[in-house]
């Protein structure tokens, strides 16, 4: 009997990687803090082996004939783009949109760079061959990928030259085998679950620091690479914390303590201009951010669904002020959904024959998401209010010595106490638990500084077109 795709993935993590949690180097595959999330990822990867789901999430690899995830599909027409979108939605629905970095994001970034690889020959003639070779390997081996871009947050007020040079990832030595890099990168969401890290800078590197302008593929078990995890938010109780039990995808900081990266995995180096072009790559950005907004729709629907149920459970759904808040949640969902559909409807071919979603709508949806999600959580908090503090410490109390009293006093308007408590515990996991607090921060800042994102949208917008009518009136051209 062949080993399932999900089990192959879990077995691949038994590679002596340096994952650190609570001062200890741990085995991700056996530590209790990771078991629930690994089971979730395993189920997702097993979809490629299941005849009832593989057509929803995958396509047949042209080299192996086996099903691979649609995030690796280079879209050449509307059908390809919709296949990608449906796969993102299928995975998001399976995790209620709560897991944001399930590899389909980083895989999409890789696919975009692969699809435009010829452009980078002007910087390095070997780039196209290197990324093609790796793309095929990642696709056919079903690798879990994580993109890591940002420098450690030490002094955000300092200019590049004032930064602690030892903190920024850089090449410290070159040899016949490859390059040796030292420094740190943040934030590696899902880092402990990753097979390979795609490492490159998100900010513009000055020409005076070309040793920091590198694009690397780094295996998670590389010697000298340390994956330092934040506090684990897992729960051993699926009843009391249904989200924390299965969706703590973990965030980590990467420490590169003189890590050797082989030349075949050094995609670009010593070229700030090339790395800035990588950062601005239209195909990579459009395909990856398309995944994020498809997921956002599902997550907003999940929050709204909980809010609707709670409003009905405590009998406030008929109040006008509550209806206004619930209507706001509906407006959020439909606004982002409309932007997803618009990005797909107005997709177009780039100069390489790639059929890309319209980035203007994607950018708008991402920017709105940084405000929509925190507002959705605020509404969920307001509707449940003090009811969240009424819940017992564990679901065991509902079956314990006080069960008769809990059944009497913890019931809802239209539901028994057991169901109501489960509902409120689910909501609390999203609004009050460490996992829930993490998600509110994540949705605010995962795309970068929201102020700068909105400002960039204004700076890059075609202002001439919208000011034309104004100018006509000012000039007296009625």
Cα gap 322→221, rounded to integer Å: 51
Element (H, E) at 92: helix 78-94
The single-letter DSSP state of residue 200 is -
For residue 477, pLDDT beyond 80: no
Per-residue pLDDT, 167: 86
Residue 451: which pLDDT band, with cuts at 50, 70 and 90? very high
> What backbone torsions phi and psi does residue 447 show, to the nearest 5 degrees?
-85, -5
Q: Is 471 exposed, middle or buried (0-12, 13-18, 19+ CB in 10 A)?
A: exposed
Residue 1: which pLDDT band, with cuts at 50, 70 and 90? low
Q: Quote the distance between the C-alpha of residue 199 and its chain's center.
A: 15
* pLDDT tens-digit readout, 387-427: 999 999 999 999 999 999 999 999 999 899 999 999 999 99
Per-residue pLDDT, 164: 64
Question: Among the residues of 346-402, which ranges form H helices?
Answer: 359-384
* pLDDT tens-digit readout, 295-333: 999 999 999 999 999 999 999 999 999 999 999 999 999
- The residues near 135 (Cβ < 8 Å, ≥ 6 apart) are 72, 110, 111, 114
**CB of 308 within 8 A of CB of 317?**
yes
Cα gap 384→316, rounded to integer Å: 10
Per-residue pLDDT, 474: 92
Residue 91, Cβ neighbours under 10 Å: how many?
Answer: 25
């Amino acid at each position: 009997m062949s080993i399932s795709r999900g089990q192959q993935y879990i077995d691949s993590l038994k590679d002596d990687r340096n994952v650190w949690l609570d001062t200890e180097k741990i085995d991700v595959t056996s530590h209790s803090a990771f078991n629930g999330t690994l089971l979730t990822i395993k189920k997702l990867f097993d979809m490629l082996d299941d005849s009832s789901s593989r057509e929803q999430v995958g396509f047949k690899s042209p080299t192996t004939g086996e099903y691979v995830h649609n995030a690796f599909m280079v879209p050449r027409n509307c059908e390809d783009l919709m296949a990608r979108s449906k796969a993102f939605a299928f995975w998001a629905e399976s995790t209620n949109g709560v897991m944001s970095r399930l590899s389909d994001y980083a895989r999409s970034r890789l696919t975009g760079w692969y699809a435009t690889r010829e452009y980078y020959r002007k910087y390095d003639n070997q780039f196209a061959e290197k990324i093609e070779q790796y793309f095929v390997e990642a696709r056919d081996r079903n690798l879990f990928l994580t993109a890591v871009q940002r420098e450690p947050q030490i002094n955000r007020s300092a200019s590049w030259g004032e930064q602690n040079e030892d903190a920024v990832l850089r090449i410290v030595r070159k040899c016949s085998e490859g390059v040796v890099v030292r420094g740190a990168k943040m934030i590696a969401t899902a880092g402990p679950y990753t097979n390979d890290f795609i490492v490159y800078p998100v900010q513009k590197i000055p020409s005076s620091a070309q040793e920091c302008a590198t694009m690397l593929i780094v295996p998670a078990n590389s010697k000298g690479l340390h994956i330092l995890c934040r506090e684990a938010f897992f729960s051993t109780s699926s009843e009391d914390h249904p989200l924390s039990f299965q969706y703590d995808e973990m965030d980590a900081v990467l420490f590169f303590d003189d890590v050797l990266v082989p030349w075949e995995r050094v995609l670009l180096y010593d070229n700030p201009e090339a790395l800035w072009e990588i950062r601005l790559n239209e195909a990579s950005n459009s395909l990856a951010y398309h995944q994020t907004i498809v997921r956002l729709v599902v997550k907003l629907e999940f929050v709204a669904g909980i809010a609707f149920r709670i409003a009905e459970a405590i009998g406030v759904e008929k109040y006008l002020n509550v209806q206004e808040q619930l209507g706001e949640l509906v407006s959020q969902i439909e606004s982002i959904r409309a932007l997803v559909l618009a990005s797909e409807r107005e997709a177009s071919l780039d100069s390489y024959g790639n059929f890309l979603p319209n980035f203007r709508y994607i950018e708008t949806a991402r920017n709105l998401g940084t405000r929509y999600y925190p507002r959705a959580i605020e509404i969920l908090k307001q509707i449940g209010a003090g009811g969240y503090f009424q819940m017992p410490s564990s679901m065991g109390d509902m079956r314990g010595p006080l069960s008769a009293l809990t059944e009497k006093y913890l019931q809802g308007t239209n539901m028994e106490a057991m169901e109501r408590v489960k509902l409120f515990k689910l909501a609390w996991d999203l609004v009050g638990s460490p996992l829930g607090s993490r998600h509110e921060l994540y949705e605010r800042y995962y795309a970068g500084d929201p102020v700068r994102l909105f400002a960039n949208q204004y700076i890059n917008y075609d202002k001439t077109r919208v000011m034309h009518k104004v100018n006509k009136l000012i000039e007296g051209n009625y």
